[in-house]
Chain A
Amino acid sequence: GAVVSQHPSRVICKSGTSVKIECRSLDFQATTMFWYRQFPKQSLMLMATSNEGSKATYEQGVEKDKFLINHASLTLSTLTVTSAHPEDSSFYICSASQMADTQYFGPGTRLTVL
Chain B
Amino acid sequence: GQQLNQSPQSMFIQEGEDVSMNCTSSSIFNTWLWYKQDPGEGPVLLIALYKAGELTSNGRLTAQFGITRKDSFLNISASIPSDVGIYFCAGSYNTNAGKSTFGDGTTLTVKP
Partner-binding segment picked from A12-20, A70-78, A81-89, A93-101: A93-101
Query: Given A32-B97, A32-B98, A43-B88, A104 and B45 touching (CB < 8 A)?
Result: yes
- Interface bin, chain B: 20 to 34
Chain B residues, Cβ within 8 Å of A57: 97
Interchain nearest-CB distance for A6 vs B (Å) = 7
Q: Is the CB of A43 within 8 A of B102?
A: yes
Q: How many residues of A contact B (CB 8 A)?
A: 26
Is B40's beta carbon under 8 Å from chain A?
A: yes
Question: Which of A44, A101, A110 interacts with B94 by CB under 8 Å?
Answer: A101
Instruction: Determine the residue in chain B with the shortest Cβ distance to A105.
Output: B42
CA of A98 to CA of B89 in the docked complex: distance in angstroms? 19
Q: Is the interface of B mostly helix, strand, loop or mixed?
A: loop
Is A46's beta carbon under 8 Å from chain B?
A: yes
Chain B residues, Cβ within 8 Å of A31: 98
- Render B2-46 as a binary contact track against A, CB cut-off 8 A, 1 for contact: 000000000000000000000000000011010100001111110
Interchain nearest-CB distance for A44 vs B (Å) = 5
Instruction: Determine the residue in chain A with the shortest Cβ distance to B92.
Output: A101
Q: Is the CB of A49 within 8 A of B45?
A: no
Q: Is the CB of A107 within 8 A of B30?
A: no
Question: Which of B41, B43, B98 interacts with A97 by CB under 8 Å?
Answer: B98
Question: Which of B30, B42, B103 interacts with A108 by CB under 8 Å?
Answer: B42
Is B66's beta carbon under 8 Å from chain A?
A: no
Query: Residues on A close to B: CB < 8 A?
Result: 2, 4, 6, 31-32, 34, 42-44, 46, 49, 57, 91, 93, 95, 97, 100-108, 110
A-B interface, 9 closest residue pairs, ranked by CB to CB distance from nearest:
A105-B42, A101-B31, A101-B92, A108-B42, A105-B43, A107-B42, A43-B104, A93-B42, A32-B98
